[in-house]
Structure 1
């Protein structure tokens, strides 16, 4: 990814919040940026990678990325780290200690919360990390603030020698708005100063630094009281005033343009005196925050009467059609008024279940897993999570990054005697395995578990856009990088050589054979699939296939592969000689979409699927050329 010439200062650019944060990192003189891909945070590092003078990397997980950024900040450089909300669960071990060490150069940690669960397994409120670790929090409401607050966060970080959390949500990360940008301000790093009392956090040193944390927090609270990012907006209708932060402010302002608002951009520590003054101006105050009642709880503890989650939902975005009815009920307005403020009924749309891509190398894996009998299959985070759905129904759990290993091991050790014959399988992707799966496999081996592990190596972090990782031999900028040999790696973790297999997932007979063989073995085994993501640069499309309609018997076996290029043209019910009715699904292959992986060939009993190039152009029945000539 080559660096581009940044737009000049004072340019007005249409930018997402993620892009605006990246620009601010560059403008602030950032020297090091590290992250692990995760929606909605991914584009921050991808954009930073296009700027000159900033070292950027995809780290193997969020904890490592935060430690890289901390190391740079210890050395006096301005550093940046980005992750989605669940990433901080991984990185929190480092976070909870760096609040004691502090930093030398500025360190900004952007955490992107997926409010509404657009692409996440849970909905967290990352502001609690600021409360937990006693770190300041900035909450931008739009792209311009994302840029401005990031710059301010670097300044505050260096002034107080403290990491600063920039809390974003999907609404800010991905929505674009006009942003006025500035120039880069180069900042020479001060270098690392040896100070074991500060940087070596043994209990004695850590204990001596604890009072500093609370003294610093008191000073930061004084800063929030005078911060220009915490502003009153007066209004004529004082029946309800709104205390809010982040993108929830935008929803409040849209829903109630005439109401008084206290908008907290520098939201933690909470400026209690400013809140108290605001509350005195309004008949009642409603705290509008996504998603947990952090500000509400803090303010109530100070004896300031506010409403919050007792009138508003504790989940999802607090958009205008959620706010208006809630406040209408609070004010005792009629049902008619509440109905007027409700959201319009959504337009009916044809349901589209999530599915994998045409020719995805995971299709064959789940087709094979679906044939396993008496099996428990533990899944993980990635595109392959979709294996839980139709037509495969071949995944039983999905918890968190790398959890497939520990869950499968727990199944094995915790199963009842009557389940001793059950096959235990764990499915994990290449990047996820490197992120947090290696430790789980090591645990299985060390504790003599009986689990068959499938590592689906598609040479990409597929679900977040195909980013590079240590398994595909390229770095963030597409430069050559050492490539992990998964077979060698798992052997080094203790899996016996004869229990390690590398398999082409498009070769279904081989995949079936190896899977049946390894699930019968009472020891850890690993099957590694080796075809790249079809959307990545390593994939080489093959020649497409088509269906000879006259030969198709409607068995539907090819449909069970789950490839979106296979379309059911009609369904019939056939009554067999024994009186049993059998459903038939007749199909065609969308040859323009087909990439020729050949997964549908093996299950096709009548051999009705043939190379599309052998079919007559425009032949509606998709018959081979020679058959058309003979006809």
Structure 2
């Protein structure tokens, strides 16, 4: 059990923003928590699951997670769910309705934006949901505020009968700070009270609730004007004043310690009156916000003209000191002060790759050999790396579960001229359960000529190895029913004879199976069965080595893509036809090698053998 869980009240702890939020949710008396893992929000539920007197689950996707939390709130329990920014897109259907009906127990939704796109396919600004769904947004700047604001969010939720969005960014989620913690406030759920006019959201009932939603937003707007989460911090130099929120506030304070700042924590509804009051005290007003100009646009719409924002600052990435200092100092015609140069961080690039013995490598090695014969629709997960070297075996990656629908669209659009290439959809086990099942059902229903490969590595690998219905364990580690993927896809309509299960380490078998399935028209599914090497289900085997005198330098083992294999020397050799071939003699790092044998399967000269001789009787 972590130190944060064991800590007594009035203790100070070093916590990340995610850990601090978990502590705050528990102290607030929440009893229901649900999420789907997604960087940078994943650790919130992992930490929260360690606390007592609270139910926590990994849901199959973000929509289900929010619905579980909504059900808890309807029953009078303080409820919480977490997701990354793209996850809120998935949950938006439920979100847009619960903001009309309101809540009973406090309902807080933590959404983590990946500013800078360190691990996401887009950089979206979740603050838009406040405007779109008419719900309040709180924005912490660091771990201490994250801990405090999540508790305030529950109070605000119940006081105003609304879900509350806690908008985080990667820098809040993952940066640690010393914070003071308190104790849990016990709250018993009141139970569900039937009220069809409120909870059965037929059009007639929903129309009757809209006036209350509008009145609630007016109340929230008034609260934002006086909230202690929005504060004016005076300064000595009034030439420039800043309006800012979240981690950008810390960057502003670092760069301009003498400037007045309006620090916003309750950012929607926007306290326009407070901003006007602050603007009257400064020469230039600069809005510093990541990433979209939401605050700036609202202020301009309210009639403010003497302000700056995205005319000085970029609309993408973090607004770090390296960005802020040169942009803002130019506003008053001053050079950068001595010693205040913030160089950009340009670390030596390291291309992403899969782990040694990753079972995905066997599939991509085979697909790369079939590259001229297939179009390959990919998905979101570790296996997205199949688009890179040495495989180059993905053509698309759009969103969770999209491989299925995109593959069907490719199939239906190609016509007779494109029949020379088969269509393959690649998807992971967790992603298939998250949003891929519907796509496969659509392929079957519409008679798509698609081969789907489900890479079952028995974990949610990309976000750190979380459990899901295909692992046989729950978030808290206890045993759970384990989905049989073969039976599941058969239930979705795939013919039993078109469902193949393969060991992804057996390269000739994988290659042969894919080639056979793409040759036969109609929907088919190939399921791989090796666990992730970082999961508890993986069993490490003795390492392998290269027999130097047998190695021909063909480099075929390098095409598997295992990072444990590296080139130790190259040699140019002239062929009989006069052309030049580059021979690559390799070595295997015994500390990295896990004994998967994929390199052995790829080696024609049989130059790879166990690192330690096998004992004989």
TM-score normalized by the length of structure 1: 0.95
Aligned 8 A contact 1:502 1:527 in 2: yes
Once residues 543 and 390 of structure 2 are traced to their aligned partners in structure 1, the CA distance between those partners, rounded to angstroms, is 22
Instruction: Note the C-alpha offset of 1:332.
Output: 2.6
2:607 corresponds in structure 1 to 608
1:352 corresponds in structure 2 to 350
Instruction: Note the C-alpha offset of 1:603.
Output: 1.7
Instruction: Note the C-alpha offset of 1:368.
Output: 0.3
Aligned 8 A contact 1:3 1:51 in 2: no
2:384 corresponds in structure 1 to 385
Once residues 579 and 13 of structure 2 are traced to their aligned partners in structure 1, the CA distance between those partners, rounded to angstroms, is 66
TM-score normalized by the length of structure 2: 0.98
Aligned 8 A contact 2:322 2:344 in 1: no
Once residues 443 and 34 of structure 2 are traced to their aligned partners in structure 1, the CA distance between those partners, rounded to angstroms, is 31
Instruction: Note the C-alpha offset of 1:322.
Output: 0.3
2:36 corresponds in structure 1 to 36
2:324 corresponds in structure 1 to 323
- State the Cα deviation string for residues 450-505 of structure 1 (Å, max 9, x = none): 11100000000001000000001000111000000000000000000110000000
* 365 and 477 in structure 1: CA distance in 2 versus 1, 3 angstrom threshold: same
* 347 and 410 in structure 1: CA distance in 2 versus 1, 3 angstrom threshold: closer
- State the Cα deviation string for residues 186-221 of structure 1 (Å, max 9, x = none): 112221111111111111111111111111000001
Once residues 396 and 563 of structure 1 are traced to their aligned partners in structure 2, the CA distance between those partners, rounded to angstroms, is 21
Instruction: Note the C-alpha offset of 1:333.
Output: 3.1
Aligned 8 A contact 2:34 2:82 in 1: yes
Instruction: Note the C-alpha offset of 1:604.
Output: 0.9
1:621 corresponds in structure 2 to none
* Structure 2 portions without partners, runs of 5+: none
- Listed as ranges, the matches of 1:532-571 within 5 Å are 532-571=531-570
CA RMSD of aligned residues (A): 1.6
Aligned 8 A contact 1:4 1:50 in 2: no
Instruction: Note the C-alpha offset of 1:543.
Output: 1.5
Instruction: Note the C-alpha offset of 1:344.
Output: 2.0
1:367 aligns with 2:380: no
Once residues 339 and 394 of structure 1 are traced to their aligned partners in structure 2, the CA distance between those partners, rounded to angstroms, is 50
1:256 aligns with 2:267: no
* 566 and 253 in structure 1: CA distance in 2 versus 1, 3 angstrom threshold: same
Once residues 493 and 587 of structure 1 are traced to their aligned partners in structure 2, the CA distance between those partners, rounded to angstroms, is 45
Aligned 8 A contact 2:290 2:319 in 1: yes
Once residues 508 and 398 of structure 2 are traced to their aligned partners in structure 1, the CA distance between those partners, rounded to angstroms, is 31
1:147 corresponds in structure 2 to 147
Aligned 8 A contact 1:325 1:341 in 2: no
Aligned 8 A contact 2:4 2:23 in 1: no
- Listed as ranges, the matches of 1:157-196 within 5 Å are 157-196=157-196
Instruction: Note the C-alpha offset of 1:6.
Output: 3.0
- State the Cα deviation string for residues 31-78 of structure 1 (Å, max 9, x = none): 000000000000000000010001000000000000000000000000
Once residues 492 and 172 of structure 2 are traced to their aligned partners in structure 1, the CA distance between those partners, rounded to angstroms, is 42
Aligned 8 A contact 1:101 1:199 in 2: yes
Aligned 8 A contact 1:35 1:45 in 2: yes
Once residues 21 and 4 of structure 1 are traced to their aligned partners in structure 2, the CA distance between those partners, rounded to angstroms, is 11
* 88 and 218 in structure 1: CA distance in 2 versus 1, 3 angstrom threshold: same
Once residues 217 and 482 of structure 2 are traced to their aligned partners in structure 1, the CA distance between those partners, rounded to angstroms, is 44
Aligned 8 A contact 2:139 2:267 in 1: yes
Aligned 8 A contact 2:379 2:403 in 1: yes
2:313 corresponds in structure 1 to 312
Once residues 3 and 75 of structure 1 are traced to their aligned partners in structure 2, the CA distance between those partners, rounded to angstroms, is 32
1:6 aligns with 2:6: yes
Between the two proteins, the alignment pairs up a number of residues equal to 614
Once residues 487 and 54 of structure 1 are traced to their aligned partners in structure 2, the CA distance between those partners, rounded to angstroms, is 34
Instruction: Note the C-alpha offset of 1:341.
Output: 5.2
Instruction: Note the C-alpha offset of 1:294.
Output: 0.8
Instruction: Note the C-alpha offset of 1:2.
Output: 9.7
- Listed as ranges, the matches of 1:45-84 within 5 Å are 45-84=45-84
Once residues 450 and 332 of structure 2 are traced to their aligned partners in structure 1, the CA distance between those partners, rounded to angstroms, is 59
1:446 corresponds in structure 2 to 445
1:586 aligns with 2:580: no
Instruction: Note the C-alpha offset of 1:5.
Output: 5.1
* Structure 1 portions without partners, runs of 5+: 616-623, 626-631
Instruction: Note the C-alpha offset of 1:30.
Output: 0.5
Aligned 8 A contact 2:4 2:13 in 1: no
Alignment partner of 1:317: what SS? coil
Which stretch shows the higher mean deviation, 236-245 or 66-75? 236-245
Aligned 8 A contact 1:99 1:134 in 2: yes
1:475 corresponds in structure 2 to 474
